[in-house]
Structure 1
Amino acid sequence: MLGERPYVISIAGFDPSGGAGILADVKCFEQHQVYGFGVCSALTVQTDDHFISCEWINAEQIITQLEPLFAKFRISACKIGLIKDIEVLLQVLFFIRAQNEDIKIILDPVLKASAGFQFHQWSMTQLNSVLRYIDLITPNYSEMLSMGSAETAEETAGLLAAHCPVLLKGGHNIMAIGTDLLFENTDVFELKPRFVSDRQKHGSGCVLSAAITANLALGHTLNDACKHGKIYIEDFLNSNSTLLGYHSYDR
């Protein structure tokens, strides 16, 4: 029955190819047997390998979509992906926290499309204003380097971890490809891959953060949710030889 599954929500862009954003997140949620809602934060025109344009949805429009969902359902976890800017993000976060103080919020900072389009250039100062309201941020190495002034992504992640946990994704780390680092309080946990894949997938960052969101809603600890999410994304990356991955979860 529907009520037996936790409710989760994705606030993200609409990607017509279904590889990233809301469509990818809801596919991932369904595989994890959580019920996924989707709220649009941007209308994009793109394929798996070509980004054409983006039309932003403002904070009022996002909140209007959220209001009836939070009024009717107890939502356990929320993943936020592509969003216009920090100001819009803050307004959305304030609304969500006002509805449910205990909800788990995961921020996947989409700064650049996999096809090369640059969305944002967020700084540490801007991020510090939002980190207190979220439970995990999931940047990759390139994003982490661009957001801080430290020499390494690990140093910047350590600074951010003073405000909230950080999952530093290792797909772009040529020194240890596929090894993720979870910074939680003063601890750092190394999440090694079962195997290193040379296959790329459009929207892989979206899918990983959605998998972690689903696992948190299912009651897993943050550490275990990241481990389960890593297994899911590895299978997704190796599901076929194209840029559009297949969602499948063997429990």
Structure 2
Amino acid sequence: MQTIPKPTIPKPIVLSIAGHDPSGGAGIQADIETLGALGCQAATVISCLTIQDSRDVHELIPLQASLITRQVETLFQDYPIRAIKIGLIGSAEAALAIADLLARYPDVPVVVDPILAAGGGTQLAGKALLETLLERILPRATVVTPNSQEARRLTQRQQLDECAAVLLARGCQAVLITGTHEAATDVVNTLYRPGIPHHRERWPRLAGSYHGSGCTIASAIAAGLARGVSLVEAVSEAQRYTWESLSAGWQPGRGQHIPNRLYRQPSE
């Protein structure tokens, strides 16, 4: 029997706190695929269950906040977590528990993907969760990655530069606003940081719509930070990886396409 060699360099471990998507397009599965493809080990904490397909979320079932806390504490006692990625939270109570946990690990980079609605339009965050996200979680974020619609809902502003300014004033270190939902030929993603000129990147717009692109880019940024690269480099690498995953994506069901996050793996 052939012996499979063990990795000589330990993989950086990234903790993903996110919801479970049975369709496999987004959520925890998207994070696992992205982190694995980019050389990291995913440790995962389920924040909520969902009943969803590639068209929409039909039901959201939040987990008890105490279960989220116990999952995170158990992992931190065992693993050297190098970065944290936060996706769908599910409830204000869960958000408060996550905020308390982040306060206990201030040296770990945090990427927040503020998921407020499903691709099919179902709202996934009420007023209490929004307020907790803004007041308790964003101040501890290394980077928050809203799309343009999420940025406007979070800030009640229309101009994206103003949205970013409001979010930075909340205390997060950086904001990446993605432009997939904007009416432009190219997709323009803009990285904002306090006192530093904006950093914009343009990507050719792909046909169709994609389920899980936000999860992919946020997890890819977390992977870069866990590997120790700079924020700008992590964001740029994440955009390229996400665009290539979308470009190689496919439509398994009757709704949105899903990214092919393992496009770099050899096919059988």
TM-score (norm 2): 0.86
- Which piece of structure 1 moves more, 143-152 or 9-18? 143-152
- Which piece of structure 1 moves more, 71-80 or 119-128? 119-128
- What is the 5 A alignment of 1:76-91? 76-91=82-97
For 2:66 and 2:83, the matched residues in 1 are separated by 21
- Displacement, 1:159? 1.8
Unpaired runs of 5+ residues, structure 2, are 1-5, 252-256
Letter in 1 for 2:208: R
Unpaired runs of 5+ residues, structure 1, are none
- What is the 5 A alignment of 1:106-145? 106-121=111-126, 127-145=134-152
Q: Number of paired residues?
A: 250
> 2:250, 2:260 within 8 Å by CA — same for their partners in 1?
no
The aligned counterpart of 2:204 is 195
For 1:53 and 1:144, the matched residues in 2 are separated by 24
Instruction: Tell whether 2:45 aligns with 1:31.
Output: no
> 1:232, 1:249 within 8 Å by CA — same for their partners in 2?
no
Instruction: Tell whether 2:242 aligns with 1:233.
Output: yes
Deviations 1:161-180 (A, max 9, x none): 13211111111122464111
The aligned counterpart of 2:164 is 157
- Displacement, 1:67? 1.6
Deviations 1:184-221 (A, max 9, x none): 11224333234222232111111110111111101111
- Displacement, 1:66? 1.2
Distance change >3 Å, CA 129–CA 95, structure 1 → 2: closer
From 5, 19, 36, the equivalent of 2:25 is 19
- What is the 5 A alignment of 1:146-185? 146-162=153-169, 163-164=171-172, 165-175=174-184, 177-185=186-194
For 1:176 and 1:125, the matched residues in 2 are separated by 35
Letter in 1 for 2:189: D
For 1:114 and 1:20, the matched residues in 2 are separated by 10
Instruction: Tell whether 2:46 aligns with 1:46.
Output: no
For 2:69 and 2:132, the matched residues in 1 are separated by 25
The aligned counterpart of 2:10 is 4
TM-score (norm 1): 0.92
For 1:96 and 1:130, the matched residues in 2 are separated by 8
> 2:62, 2:90 within 8 Å by CA — same for their partners in 1?
yes
The aligned counterpart of 2:231 is 222
State the 4+ residue runs in structure 1 displaced beyond 6 angstroms: none
For 2:132 and 2:79, the matched residues in 1 are separated by 34
Distance change >3 Å, CA 102–CA 176, structure 1 → 2: farther
For 2:216 and 2:259, the matched residues in 1 are separated by 10
Distance change >3 Å, CA 194–CA 168, structure 1 → 2: closer
The aligned counterpart of 2:262 is 248
- What CA RMSD, in Å, does the superposition of the two structures yield over aligned residues? 2.1
Q: Percent identity?
A: 30
Letter in 2 for 1:244: I
- Displacement, 1:110? 0.6
- Which piece of structure 1 moves more, 218-227 or 123-132? 123-132
